Structure formats: structure tokens, C-alpha cells
Structure 1
Amino acid sequence: MVKKYLRITHLWLGLASGLIVFILGVSGCLYVFEEELRPIAYADHYRVEGAKKEPLPVSDLLKTAEIALGKESPVSSIVIYNSNERSYMFRSFPDKPVAHKLWYWEGIEDRQDAFVNPYTGEVLKIKNSEFEFFRVVMWLHWSLLLKTEIGQPIVGIATVIFVLSLITGLVLWWPKNKSAAKQRFWFRWKTGTKWKRKNYDLHNILGYYMMVFALIISLTGLVWAFDWFENSVSWVANGGRTIESVQETITSDTANFSSNIPTDLVFEQVKKLYPNAVRYLISIPEDSLSAQTVHVKFSSRFDDTTIYFDRYTGEQLKTIGWNNKSNGEKMTFLNYDIHVGSILGFPGKVLAFFASLVAAGLPVTGFLIWWGRRKKERGYKKRKNTSKKTLNEKNKENPYAQNSRSKFGANGEGNNVKA
């Protein structure tokens, strides 16, 4: 009886969230390898011919990018990969972002990116990154291409429902005995195995093996969907304590005011300090007090570092690394890497890819199971109604048989009527 109600609950949970889970799973599969696929898909402006000579000064390349982008699109950050085969990317964010009205396409921001060859100074391409394929996929995954305030709660609720369906699915999957368990852990298909059986096994067996990973992906996704969930994760990580994150304001000394930003000096310092980094993201100060920030990205997330410099002198003001964060901040910091599997390197991304693929397939295979059973039940009822109709027609044709059945009973043994 319990399993009957669990099966009904599992069915309606799947029907309620199936379409959204499918979209999230497919978009997750596409986005998990975006760092590896972008240089391949956009090789014409992401890659440059490997050069033995030293790259041009960052300040000179910055001026080139500023001219190419124009005054309406001031450079806000520079992305430099620690490779002699990658171009420099100069990113421009609008001062006043356009608010998304409802759909993603109704509020496109003018986010221009300039890709510059660091050895020749040639501008390889200027493009609006809002139209870039992987960014659109990211927004589809983030909020279904809806305004964040609308799409994020929908994604979050669908994810909660999906988590519940995984749990109910595990209870329904659990074998009663050893004999039943033999068919639950692996495919036992033969030449004549029907597609319905194969679909059933795909839903149950793949769902079982990927359940833990699907749960991890789902729960890390909920960190972005709901503030209360993020706060709860931080609270648990901090040992049941609420530690407020204090954002220290780090400023430059205006006594050394200069119109020139020592970007070259800053970049040289960072390269000497962290020669094995994967990439450097250099921010351009927004105003006269802002410090120049450099985010240093490593292959291991635990080594990522943020350094603040005085925008006038290039003096190092503060360094924030892994050890400077509370446990709650560490969990939030690692959330993206856990979500996409990159915390385990490339194998982790492969695992996240297949977990997302299986998650996308569960609503499909589950729907086919439900639809097949529904058709079977309808066919049974139809055959039952047809047989009743045929019997009634026969009784009409032979009223004596009908009277005999009523008088002598269904088995012709009489109804205990006295003679």
C-alpha cells in the first residue's frame, strides 16, 4: 500500500518537473565543457600563432582595445591566459545594465569583448558576448532565459521536486530480495528483449548509479536559487554559527594621483608571484579611490588568489586566498566547481556530464513507462467493456439462456428455489 502511494507521488513529481529538469540536464551537458570548447569553437580569435618573442606591454594593448571598442564601451577587465597561444580579451560592461523585462532577448546588455593578438597588437574580433552561444546556454540553465527574479525560483522549485523524485525513486527501486536485486544492478538484455524493458532498465539502473551525483549537482544548484539554502549551507559549514561576511573596502591613496594606471607594473608583479597560474583577470578601477584587483586562477580552485593593488603606485595592498576565508565562504567559493565537477579536474567534468545526461533522460524514460502502462490499462478496460458488450448482445439474441441464468444461477445450479 505504501509503495502504491509512493509510485503515485513519484509519478506526479516527475510530471510536474520533467520538462524543466530535461532543459536543465541538456543545458548542463552543453555548458560543463565550455572552457575546453570555447577555444576550439572560436579558434579564429581565441588562439594566436605561438610566438617566441615577448608580448607587447599590456598598457599598449589596452589602448588599442579602447580605441577599437570606443568611448561608449570602456574596458572594465582584462583576461590574460598564461599561454603563448591565447589572445588577450578586453571586456566591457555597461555602466547602466539594461534590466531584463521578461525574456533574455528583451534586455540584452551591450557587453562588448575585444580580442587582441598580444604579439602584433592586431584586433582579432569585437563581439557582443551576450549573443555568444555558451552564454545563452548558461542563461537557459540559470533562469530558463527568463528574468532572474522570475526564472530562478522556477528552476529552484523544479530542482527541489527533482530531489524528492530521486528519493522516492530510490525507495521504489529498492529490491525486495536477492533474486530481485540481480535485475536491478545491471542490464540483462537478450536478443529478443523488448524496448519497453530496455527503457525501464535505463530509467532504473542508470538512475540508481547516477543518483548521488545528480543529488550533488541539484543541491549545489539550490545554493544559487534560494538565499535561505545558501545561508543554511554556510551555517552548517561554520559549525552551526552565523558568521557575517564583512566586505572590507580597500582603496588607493589619492595623494599619489595620476591619470595613468600602472597595469604593466601590476601584471609583472603578479606573473612573478604566480608563474604557474592558468589565467589572470585584471580589473580596471571604476573611480579614483578603487584599488586595482587581480584574480589569479589556478588549475586547483584551492590555490585561487585575489590581490589588491594601489591604482597609482602599483603597491600591493592585500592578498586574499583560501586560508583567509571562513568555512562557509569556502563552501560558497567551491560551489561552482562542485556543481560542474571541475573540483575533480577533467574526470569530474566527465562525471558531471553523464550525470546531467542521465538526469535529462530520467523524465523521458519515466514518461514512456507511464505512457506505456496507461495505454495498457486503457486497452485492458476496453477489452473488458467489449467482452461485456458481446455477452449482453448474446443474451439479447437468446432470452431463454438469460432467463435460465437468472433462474438457475450463473452455474445453472439453481437459486435454492423450492419446487
Structure 2
Amino acid sequence: MTFKKLILKIHLWLGLASGLIVVILGITGCLYVFEEELRPLVHDYYYVDQVKNKKLPLSQIIEIAKNANQNQHPKQSLSGCRIINEDDRTVIVWFYEELDKEAFWYWNKYQNTYLYVDPYTGKIKEYENYNSEFFVFVRMLHQTLCLNSDIGDPIVGTATIIFIISLITGLILWWPKNKQAAKQRFWFQWKSTTKWKRKNYDLHNILGYYMMIFALIIALTGLVWAFESYDKGVQWLLNGGKTYEKETLVSDTTQYSKKNPTDKIFTSIRQSHPKAKSYYLFIPKENDSLATYRTFIRYKSRFEDTSTEFDQYTAKPLKTVHYKDKNNGEKFRFLNYDLHVGSILGFPGKVLAFFASLICTSLPITGFLIWWGRNNKKKKISI
């Protein structure tokens, strides 16, 4: 067996083994890449009924949501809220409950409820079951095949590794022997007489070649969520072989107060970051006296994003971290999602990621048709 025949066998059988999962990942990737733009278009409860002069205090909005959710989901605990820095947007308050760590499907492992509150009137616009929301379902199908992450992550991660090997072996098979062969492999040379088998073969080879680098970026960044060891290993490598311990901050329990610090904290971050895209507040659990009040300020550019931790009793800022303050591994991890969906390059990057995912979806299909066509040739009948 020659080297190329061996590579062909590897390419073929690995492609057949992972093809179905790659198709699922590709289709869901295409759908999810524009989720940030599509969600406000399909969910009218993202917007208020009418913009007024004055909004309710954030602590009051959270309390309204807490009381409303308590009647329907008494076991869920308040987890956080998001305030989008636009006058016509509702405030999102979410609640969390762990159901079964060992559950087979992701929706049986935990339950989140998102309440969308009109900040002017306090009206609950929507009770959203997070697990059944369309884009959440698409993301979980993409990330874990809707399985518990302990089960789904290794399956998706292994299929992704196989896909990476298939891309490399595919490039070896594509590599032309001479200039004449190269002409047919860089672009389509179709004529009116070109048969569908040839067209299918060119779609597999030529599109695969041009999208290979982008497909590799998508696959390699996707592995970060599939394998914790890979995630840590990449960060360790980028940090020059150093491991950084994460600093744990605690609130000062000697300053205990029943006064709600939410409004003071929100006023502080809004005044410090008036041009932010949105503000996230992660509220400490009631039974966690040492926890800090974490906030995250999101900008249009990820390089401007900032996080600040506050004392949950005094609302005193404990630590603020900007992108430039992170080590190399943390910087990569912070930008990994943007690299994965292409948003690191803005909207054009998302369009590029969309077409890369679409072509990745097509590769197992066109590859299967090549294999099927070669193994099911019509035999000529001799007379």
C-alpha cells in the first residue's frame, strides 16, 4: 500500500465515523453564529411597551422578578441579571436550580428561568424556560448533542479531533502532483458536459481547501469546551509553562448589613462605564456570606470588557480586571468564543464563520457521495 493510499483509507474511515456529528455541528454552528442579532428579532419581550422618563431602581426590579418567580419555581435561587444599555430594552433576571447531576439529557440536569421585566413599570413581559429556548437548544445540540456535558463533551470533542485529522489528510490527498493538476484543484473547471460526480468531487476538494484554515480555527477553539485538560494545556503553553493560581476574594462579614447594595453597585459601574453595551450583575447566594458581588461590563469590542468584584455588604470595589491585566492564557481564553464564531472580526467575521460552518457541513456529505459512487458503479453488460 502506497503512502497516499494509506492516507486515503484514514481519511475515508475517519470521515465516515465522524460524519454525522460533523454535519450536526456544522448546521447548528450556522444557526448559532448570528444568535445575538436574531434573538431580539424573534422575541418581542426583549423590548418594553413604552419608553418613559424614569426607570425603577434595579433592586426593586429584581425583587419584583424574585417574588413573581417564587410562586412558580420556589426551589430556584436568584442568580443574576443583565441590563442592556438601551432605553427600550427589558431587564433580564435569571434564576437557577440544580436538578440531577447524573441526568442523561442536559435539560434534566438543571433548570434556569429568565424573567424579562419592563424597567419602567415592573411588568413581567415573559417567563422564559431557558432550557427550551430555541437558541439555547441549538447551542446545546452543538456543544454536547443535548446530552449531559459529562457525556456529550467527550463525544463532540472526539469527533472534532477526528475532523481535524480528516482536514489534514484531506490536504495531503488534495496536494497536486504537478502544475497541470494544480489548475483543476484551485478552481472549478466545469463545462456543460461535466457530470454530477465530477462536480461533487470538486465541491468536496476545492471548497475544503479554501475553507481549511478557518475550519481548523473553529475546530481547535471548539476543543476548549470539550476537554478541560486541553483548555488548561493551551493556557499553560501561552503562559510559557507557568500556572497561575486564581485569586479568591471574600466579602468582609464584620461589615454585615441588611441594606441591599445592588443599586449602589449598579450606579457605580454605570457611571464608570457609561458607553458599555450591557451590564451583568452576578448576585451572591443568600447562604454564602463570604461571596463577592461580581459584575461584568460588556462593550462592543471585547478588548474593552471589564469585570469588577464588590464587597456584598459595603459595595466597596475589591478588584477590577481589564483585558490588558490578564495573562496570555487568560487573554486567549477570554477571546476563544469570539474566535470560534468569528466575531473577533466583527460582523464580516461572523459571515465568514457562517460559510465556513456551511462548508464543513457539506464535506461529510460530498465525501460520502464520492465513496458511495466509487463503490456502486454500474457494471457494463457485455453481449
Q: Aligned to 1:89, which of 88, 92, 102?
A: 92
Relative contact order higher in (CA < 8 Å, ≥ 6 apart)? 2
1:46 aligns with 2:46: yes
What is the alpha-carbon distance in structure 1 between the residues aligned to residue 106 and residue 290 of structure 2?
Answer: 34
1:208-259 CA distance string (max 9 Å, x none):
11000000111111122223322321122112x1323x23222222233222
1:193 aligns with 2:217: no
Describe the SS at the equivalent of 2:346.
Answer: helix
> 1:195-344 counterparts in 2 under 5 A?
195-239=196-240, 241-244=241-244, 246-286=245-285, 287-344=288-345
- Would you say how many aligned residue pairs link Structure 1 and Structure 2? 377
Describe the SS at the equivalent of 1:328.
Answer: helix
1:11-56 CA distance string (max 9 Å, x none):
111111111111111111111111111111112x111256251321
What is the alpha-carbon distance in structure 1 between the residues aligned to residue 329 and residue 111 of structure 2?
Answer: 34
Which letter maps to 1:112? T
**Does the 8 Å contact 2:261/2:312 carry over to 1?**
yes
**Does the 8 Å contact 1:108/1:130 carry over to 2?**
no
Please name the residue that 1:407 is paired with. none
- What is the aligned-residue identity percentage? 53
Please name the residue that 1:405 is paired with. none
What is the alpha-carbon distance in structure 2 between the residues aligned to residue 159 and residue 319 of structure 1?
Answer: 36
Against the structure 1 CA distance between its residues 204 and 61, is the aligned structure 2 distance closer, same or farther, given a 3 Å change threshold?
same
> 1:348-359 counterparts in 2 under 5 A?
348-359=349-360
Query: 1:332: Cα distance to partner?
Result: 1.5
What is the alpha-carbon distance in structure 1 between the residues aligned to residue 207 and residue 297 of structure 2?
Answer: 38
TM-score (norm 1): 0.86
Describe the SS at the equivalent of 1:183.
Answer: helix
Please name the residue that 1:167 is paired with. 168
**Does the 8 Å contact 2:106/2:149 carry over to 1?**
no
**Does the 8 Å contact 1:17/1:161 carry over to 2?**
yes
After TM superposition, what 4+ stretches of structure 1 lie above 6 angstroms from structure 2?
Answer: none
What is the alpha-carbon distance in structure 1 between the residues aligned to residue 52 and residue 317 of structure 2?
Answer: 30
Unaligned runs of 5+ in 2: none
> 1:79-118 counterparts in 2 under 5 A?
79-94=82-97, 96-105=98-107, 107-118=108-119
Against the structure 1 CA distance between its residues 50 and 213, is the aligned structure 2 distance closer, same or farther, given a 3 Å change threshold?
farther
Describe the SS at the equivalent of 1:65.
Answer: helix
Unaligned runs of 5+ in 1: 391-419
> 1:84-163 counterparts in 2 under 5 A?
84-94=87-97, 96-105=98-107, 107-163=108-164
**Does the 8 Å contact 2:109/2:148 carry over to 1?**
no
Which letter maps to 1:171? I
What is the alpha-carbon distance in structure 2 between the residues aligned to residue 65 and residue 219 of structure 1?
Answer: 40
Against the structure 1 CA distance between its residues 189 and 48, is the aligned structure 2 distance closer, same or farther, given a 3 Å change threshold?
farther
Describe the SS at the equivalent of 2:111.
Answer: coil
**Does the 8 Å contact 2:33/2:353 carry over to 1?**
yes
What is the alpha-carbon distance in structure 1 between the residues aligned to residue 247 and residue 106 of structure 2?
Answer: 33
Which letter maps to 2:105? W
Please name the residue that 2:38 is paired with. 37
1:72 aligns with 2:71: no
1:364 aligns with 2:361: no
Which letter maps to 1:243? T
Describe the SS at the equivalent of 1:76.
Answer: strand
What is the alpha-carbon distance in structure 1 between the residues aligned to residue 106 and residue 314 of structure 2?
Answer: 41
Query: 1:164: Cα distance to partner?
Result: 0.7
Describe the SS at the equivalent of 1:152.
Answer: helix
What is the alpha-carbon distance in structure 1 between the residues aligned to residue 75 and residue 224 of structure 2?
Answer: 35
What is the alpha-carbon distance in structure 2 between the residues aligned to residue 236 and residue 288 of structure 1?
Answer: 36
Query: 1:119: Cα distance to partner?
Result: 1.4
**Does the 8 Å contact 1:234/1:328 carry over to 2?**
yes
> 1:375-414 counterparts in 2 under 5 A?
375-376=376-377, 379-380=378-379, 383=380, 387=382
What is the alpha-carbon distance in structure 2 between the residues aligned to residue 291 and residue 97 of structure 1?
Answer: 25
TM-score (norm 2): 0.94
Query: 1:147: Cα distance to partner?
Result: 1.8
Against the structure 1 CA distance between its residues 249 and 86, is the aligned structure 2 distance closer, same or farther, given a 3 Å change threshold?
same
Describe the SS at the equivalent of 1:150.
Answer: helix
Describe the SS at the equivalent of 1:182.
Answer: helix
**Does the 8 Å contact 2:52/2:120 carry over to 1?**
no
Task: Pick which of 246-255 and 203-212 moved more.
Answer: 246-255
Query: 1:275: Cα distance to partner?
Result: 1.1
Against the structure 1 CA distance between its residues 66 and 144, is the aligned structure 2 distance closer, same or farther, given a 3 Å change threshold?
same
What is the alpha-carbon distance in structure 2 between the residues aligned to residue 9 and residue 311 of structure 1?
Answer: 57
What is the alpha-carbon distance in structure 2 between the residues aligned to residue 195 and residue 313 of structure 1?
Answer: 71
Which letter maps to 1:56? L
